[in-house]
Structure 1
Amino acid sequence: MASQGKYGDWIALAPNSPSTAKLRIFCVAPVGMSGACFHPWASGLPRGVELMPLELPGRGFRMAEKLQASSLNDLAAAALDGIGRPVFEEVPFAIFGHSFGAWLAYELAQQLCARGWQQPLKLYVSANRAPQLHCTGHDPDRVQPELSRLGEESFWDHFERRYGKNPDLQESYIRDFIRPVLQGDFSLLETYVPSSLEKLPVPLCALCAIGDRRCRPEQLSAWHEVAGAGFEERWFQNVWKPEFWSTEHRYIVDNPKSLLAFLSEDLPLLGCPGGADDTGIEGPVVSECAEDSVPESTAPESARRCCIS
């Protein structure tokens, strides 16, 4: 088994990761992706913030491993055990999760609380509905909300209908390798039952790209029901471009500029009554777009309140 060194097998550190950090952000990838999908973020985050992408079994440098967890709850517990309590106590941290990763990030936060471990300064959840809407009956895909049990041909038809036609996933040998990983992740999603729906004692920020069909505005807003220490909602516009094969759902990979601008403003403020100057973290200031710059016909009300262009 390959290892990434000082954080073991659960963290896919970015190249040139800082030797010391004033803040860490643990990042959880979407279905099938390696934690390395976050590596390009490293140059877009403030100095002093260490990027900590989770690497799950079956992808990246853990490609040869099989995902043993039978639920997202078990996977969160295994990740916490593998990373270890000291890592969460060394430096203040936030957690970010996208899509599949949003629910896993939520489980990490709930289980950190249940264990009495250090809590994140903030939880960022992107492009997924709130956990109380976990049943597949709430999935925005009403054509085929369950992909985990489909046969090969049907699976790829519905996968591409939902997410776009990935040019890197067209060769049969690649499909044969990656399909079990994808369907394993989808199984965890489709059978997810939250370990708790108690309000988290940490601030929560729900994020999404305008036009993302995988999360309806009211489903994103519903995260406020599990936010016990403050809630905000952010919508990003103009993240999709005609040259992209994918949809707005992949904005964290294809076009994360607006998201990183927001995080670069927000992360230095966490837990610091005096503002960014109290942290020693240097981050650029990002200006918010005017309310009327978001088309009335496409943006939810919350997007007009806090839109990042």
Structure 2
Amino acid sequence: MTSRQTDDEVHTSMTTGTDSDTWFRRYSTAATPRRRLVVLPHAGGSASFFHPWGRSFGSDTEVLVAKYPGRHERLADPFIHTMDVLADQVTAALLPFADVPMTLFGHSMGASLAYEVVQRLEKRHAVLPAALHVSSREAPHRVLPRELYREEDAALIAELRRLGGTDSALLDDPDVQEFVLPVLRADLTIADTYGPRPDTPVACPVHAWIGDADPSTSAGEMNAWGDVAPRGFRLRVLPGGHFYLVEQHDVVVRELCDQLATVG
């Protein structure tokens, strides 16, 4: 790597559009799938968080969960620090899976990523996803930049506690902090420097999800996703906080199954 290359530039040069095994944990079906569900995790998250979803959608639905660099199997891969580079790489890795209808589900930072990936699939590759599901994140034209990623480690730990989803006792462990904080800071750099973006519509229905006690956003803010959804919009408010989808796992999976059954 030259002194003028960033980690993002190295990633762009090293990762190809066919590198799908690197980018996705794949829960294959016994037969040829009729449809695919692509799951894009939150900032600091990993594919393991969504492992319970892997076999939850029937034998004809293949689930792909994004594996972001810098964690688990990709521990040695350099972090990405911008949404555009991340979206470009995820889009390229998804192209081999465009042979059957594709639904995207993004949680928190993953919602912004899912929207950007859908834009790229539609406009650059003429791939029209079946639906876009966005969870716990403002619409692209409503999300505002933040600078949490620049704060001291204590502020990042405080944010993790505020949002929940991570055992508080684990957050007190220095070994856990040593692993978690660099990952979180890199992902927050992506999330915090994103937006606002133009409210460019997508050519598929949009389903928005939010917990009624989410400290990071609100049902009112999630309603703004309707501005980019001329093909149909639905907002689902469930009990819970930012990680309502853990508490409401059965409800979310059941309703996603119902929606996926209409595809393919």
TM-score bin, normalised by smaller chain: 0.7 to 0.9
Partner in structure 2 of residue 11 of structure 1: 24
Given the alignment, which residue of 191, 194, 199 partners 1:189?
191
Distance 1:63 1:38 in 2: 18
Residues 28-77 of structure 1, C-alpha deviations (whole Å, 9 max, x = no match): 01111111222211332133111111111012311221213x31121000
Please list every run of 5 or more consecutive structure 1 residues that lacks an aligned counterpart in the other structure.
Answer: 137-144, 241-247, 271-278, 280-309
**1:20, distance to aligned residue in structure 2 (A):** 2.0
- Structure 2: how far apart are the matches of 1:77 and 1:6? 13
8 Å contact from structure 1 (residues 71, 188) kept in 2? yes
Task: Say which is worse superposed, 189-198 or 17-26, in terms of deviation.
Answer: 189-198
CA distance in 2, matches of 1:155, 1:18: 42
Q: 1:208 to 1:6 in 2, by over 3 A?
A: same
Q: For residue 52 of structure 2, what is the aligned residue in structure 1?
A: 40
Determine which of 145, 162, 176 is the counterpart of 1:174: 176
Q: CA 1:17–1:6 in 2, change beyond 3 Å: closer, same or farther? A: farther
Number of equivalent positions: 247
1:223 aligns with 2:225: yes
- Residue 119 of structure 1 is matched in structure 2 by 128
Q: Deviations over 1:214-265 (max 9, x none)?
A: 221110000011112111111123xx5xxxxxxx211223441110110111
* TM-score using structure 2 length: 0.85
Superposed CA deviations along residues 172-226 of structure 1, whole A, max 9, x for unmatched, are 0220121011011111111103665321111111111222222211100000111
Which residue of structure 1 lines up, in the alignment, with residue 246 of structure 2? 253
Q: Secondary structure at 1:177's aligned position in 2?
A: helix
The one-letter code matched in structure 2 to 1:179 is: L
Residue 256 of structure 2: aligned partner: 263
Where does residue 86 of structure 1 map in the other structure? 96
Inter-partner Cα distance in structure 2 for 1:254 and 1:66: 33
Q: Report the AA paired with residue 174 of structure 2.
A: S
Give me the CA root mean square deviation. Answer: 2.3
Secondary structure of the equivalent of 1:102? helix
C-alpha distance in 2, partners of 1:116/1:7?
A: 17
| Offset at residue 19 of structure 1 (A) | 4.5
Whole-Å separation in 1 of the counterparts to 2:226 and 2:94: 29
Counterpart-to-counterpart distance in 2, 1:25 and 1:266: 11
Conservation of the 8 A alpha-carbon contact between 1:37 and 1:253: no
Is 1:73–1:195's contact at 8 Å kept on the other side of the alignment? no
Where do residues 195-210 of structure 1 align in structure 2 (5 Å cutoff)? 196-210=198-212
Q: Specify every segment of 5 or more residues in structure 2 that has no aligned partner in the other structure, as ranges.
A: 1-17
| Counterpart in the other structure of 2:15 | none
Paired residue secondary structure (1:252): helix
CA–CA separation in structure 2 for the residues paired with 1:158 and 1:7: 32
Matching residue's letter, 1:85: L
What is the alpha-carbon distance in structure 2 between the residues aligned to residue 155 and residue 209 of structure 1?
22
Counting only pairs closer than 5 Å after superposition, residues 73-152 of structure 1 correspond to structure 2 as 73-81=84-92, 83-88=93-98, 90-136=99-145, 146-152=147-153
Q: Which residue is equivalent to 1:283?
A: none
In the other structure, the counterpart of 1:65 is 77
Question: Please, what TM-score do these two structures have when normalized by structure 1?
Answer: 0.74
| 79 and 25 in structure 1: CA distance in 2 versus 1, 3 angstrom threshold | same
Partner Cα separation in structure 1 for residue 246 and residue 97 of structure 2: 26
Give the Cα–Cα distance (whole angstroms) in 2 for the partners of residues 50 and 155 of structure 1.
34
CA 1:225/1:204 → structure 2, altered by over 3 Å: closer, same or farther? same
**Could you tell me how far apart the structure 1 residues matched to 2:114 and 2:195 are?**
14
User: 2-side partners of 1:213 and 1:80: how far apart?
Assistant: 30
Question: Closer, same or farther in 2 for the Cα pair 1:266/1:158, shift >3 Å?
Answer: closer
Distance 1:63 1:166, change over 3 A: farther
1:249 is paired with a residue whose SS is: coil
Pick closer, same or farther for the CA change 1:46–1:194 going to 2, 3 Å: farther
Percent sequence identity over aligned pairs: 27
What is the rounded CA distance, in whole Å, between the counterparts of 2:169 and 2:31 in structure 1?
A: 37
